[in-house]
Chains A and B, each alone.
Chain A
Amino acid sequence: MAVSWQRRLAAHAPAAVFLAEGARIGPLRETLALSPGIRLVDTPRHASVLLVAGDIPTGWRDDLRRVHDQLPAPFASVWCCCEPFEALHDPIRIDTLEALPQGVAETHRELMLGKRDSAPRLQPDEPPNPWEGLGDDGHGGEGMMGGTPYGRPMAMNMQDDLRDGLTLDTLTFRLGPFHSGLPPGLQAEISLQGDLVQAWTVTRKPFASVVEPIFHAARQAPVPIAELELSRARHHLRRLYRGLLVAGWPRLAERTLSLTGQLSPNSDITALRRSLERGGLWRLALPEPGRGVLDEAQVRELGGPAVRAAGIDEDLRSHDAHYRRLGFAPTCRDAGDTAARWRQWLDEIEQSLWLAGQAARHDLKTAETDAVETPRGPWTDAFPHDMSDLLGQVLPGLEWGEAMLTLASLDVSALDLHPLEEPWQRSTGDREGRA
């Protein structure tokens, strides 16, 4: 079959990838974001390649099937460290990270050039519920409204509005578990009144988050503080990157991400901070002061940067003799709201870089192995556990955009106690720099 000029031209387009993040993967989204020929998209409708990476537990596989079927043809799915659906004949498996970006881009090109057929649909294309309206237009019931078409009753509620007393109808829907704005694995049932979050119920807990292997190593034996702190800075930079994408600032997000690759004890982020301040991130884009506040009990349970953003100087590093020798003192913000947590990231990145610089000069290693402050929170005998139910208390009352930015500022998933295996392990350090 001759390939039309249109398809040949289309093969030059970057591969639009929807990434379904499973459990126990490294910073794959960030790696892909810097790879040439790949564009990450936020919805399966905008993608031509579905990339499934990491463990997808049984309970999540049906949702993945639904995501799979939402991609417009021609499309294909690429599976990385994950067992493909049996219904897919000829699935593409790429289990090494080095080959992944190239493989994904190649898959897109093959699709366009007709060398590969579009993947089959896994589920029948029919409404989940039958039409049950009455009469010609379905409105032949009693009174104004009739029937429950598609199994959904009329949107009707008499809940009080949380904002200004103007009671609107409630829209309830499910988001996740592969929605790019939510932590991987999280699924929530959300009720909105207008654009105001009325209720937020977590129906699936997010997958445990994995920190870089050095934090696991620090629990076993002393590790160089400089490396540990650089890892911490990278972790926060990646979170800032995801946050900035939600905040609609792709240019700065990319700049933030490109910093992770070149991080050294001499790096500084003054220029980044200045751009964020001058562009008006806090003045215009983030929720107003006082939005997304967590109370003391909540932040103590959450731990990590969130607790310090609320003015509580709880940081396991201050128990470490060598950190104290470097003059370490926890950096804190008072407000404990969303805006403060965003600032806290910058503060902690700056502090980590400073500590790394100091430690590199003295060639210091950590003194404690029983108590390690991970970027997610303190890890002693206890460790950060899943706090996603907290979202149900924080997000209601926030406007949708504020809720998403607040969500971006919170790290609610549990800490995974096992270090990453191959191939993710090597992904964490220098990969982003080379990409």
Chain B
Amino acid sequence: MILDQLILPWLLAWLMVGLGAYLVAVLDRLLATGSARDGSVWLAPLASAAWLMTQQATTTEAPDAPAWRLAPALYLALAATGLALVPWSPTLVGVDLATSLVLWGSLEALATVVIFLHGWSANAHLALIGAYRYVALGLSYLLISMFVLIGVALPAESLRLTEVVAAQTSLWHVVSQPLGLPLFLMVGLGLTFWGPLDLADSTDLSGGTAVERSGPPRLVWALARAAMLVAFSAIAATAFLGGWLGPWLPGPAWLLIKSLAVLVALLWLGRRLPRFAPERCVTLMWVVLLPLSFIDLIWAGAVALWMA
């Protein structure tokens, strides 16, 4: 019991964090142009990580000590928890809760808190602006994410991710709820503040919430950001692309392929678009995407009723 309920999920989650974060670094470099000048694509992330490990962890004039120290670790823990929820096959699941979808939702909400604390605790102006800019936008991402996820729970009649996958045996949700995946991907970029929606650690703030960070904590923060993106891709693949379902290959392989596809799509978007202006982003979220998520939810409900 201790083996398969404590140790296995733990191992599974941290394996995904480590490999996933490395993969994000490599893929992002491959998608960037002019990547060749920083040496080998495969070695570069490791070298950068080693460099950060040798560096001193600086501190600011009067930071909020607990939050300043804990925020990167907490964000990493949230990402790992998210990865533990992903079902690899009907039986290979890190944590198979009856409410895993809601737990994912609360991870998103808690991530908002942690990102805020990361910027706020630094006691520095640019980090602070990044922090509450993220919160102001994060609330709109959260709403959209909730509605889209309720949409996938409806046909499954369950909040359990394994049941959500099982409900897609005949038809994946990406087809039966066409609005769901695009909305979830937009929300994913926002919640993980990546690419065009990187409004927390952005260049106009010289690095936003991480502007005062150096050394190992900065590495942990970067690791956590990448791991969160991986977690998001894996959840998206589970909720919309049928998770482990697929012919010929074993379940975990299918999940891996699908998650990778989502991850590459997110990273590609990140490289293809400029950063959105925060004000336009708020308008986009509340005026365009939120109503679309309502439509998605109504659509999902209607389809669920019709199929039942």
- Point out residues on A near B: beta carbons under 8 Å: 6-7, 9-14, 16, 34-37, 39, 41-43, 45-46, 48, 70, 72-74, 112, 127, 150, 171, 173, 175, 179-181, 192, 194-195, 244-252, 254-255, 258, 279-281, 284-288, 399-402, 404-405
Contacts and interface: CB of A to CB of B under 8 A. Distances in A.
A402 B277 contact: yes
Contact of B276 (A46, A254, A258, A284): A284
Given A13-B44, A45-B211, A284-B196, A249 B55 contact: no
B38 A43 contact: no
A73 B59 CA distance: 12
Contacts of B258: none
A13 B271 CA distance: 22
B53 A10 contact: yes
B78 interface: no
Contacts of A401: 199, 202, 204, 275, 277-278
B185 to A, nearest CB: 16
A74 B55 contact: yes
Interface residues of B, number: 51
Contact of A284 (B38, B61, B204, B280): B280
A14 B273 contact: no
A246 to B, nearest CB: 5
Contacts of B199: 401
B34 A249 contact: no
A281 B54 contact: no
Interface of B: 32-34, 37-39, 43-44, 46-48, 50-51, 53-58, 61-62, 125, 128-129, 132-133, 196, 198-199, 202-207, 211-215, 218, 271-280
B116 to A, nearest CB: 14
A11 B44 CA distance: 11
A194 B273 CA distance: 26
Contacts of A46: 207, 213-214, 218
B182 to A, nearest CB: 16
Given A9-B46, A72-B214, A248 B55 contact: no
16 contacts: A9-B46, A13-B50, A43-B206, A45-B58, A45-B211, A72-B55, A72-B214, A195-B129, A247-B203, A247-B274, A248-B198, A249-B274, A258-B34, A284-B273, A284-B280, A401-B278
B33 to A, nearest CB: 6
Contact of A404 (B61, B62, B125, B204): B204
A127 B61 contact: yes
Contact of B129 (A39, A43, A280, A400): A400
B133 A195 contact: yes
Prevailing SS type, chain A contact patch? mixed
A194 B199 CA distance: 15
Contact of A12 (B47, B62, B215): B47
Given A6-B50, A45-B212, A73 B56 contact: yes
Contact of B274 (A248, A255, A404): A248
Contacts of A74: 54-56
B214 A180 contact: no
B274 A281 contact: yes
A249 B272 CA distance: 8
A124 B213 CA distance: 20
A74 B215 CA distance: 10
A244 B62 CA distance: 34
Nearest to B43: A12
Nearest to B280: A284
Given A13-B50, A279-B272, A171 B125 contact: yes
A103 to B, nearest CB: 17
A13 B51 CA distance: 7
- With most chain A CB atoms within 10 A of its CB, the pick from B39, B51, B53 is B51
A127 to B, nearest CB: 6
Contacts of B44: 12-14
Contact of A400 (B57, B204, B218): B204
B25 to A, nearest CB: 12
A16 B38 CA distance: 11
A252 B274 contact: yes
Contacts of A250: 32, 203
Contacts of B34: 254, 258
B55 A179 contact: no
A46 B279 CA distance: 28
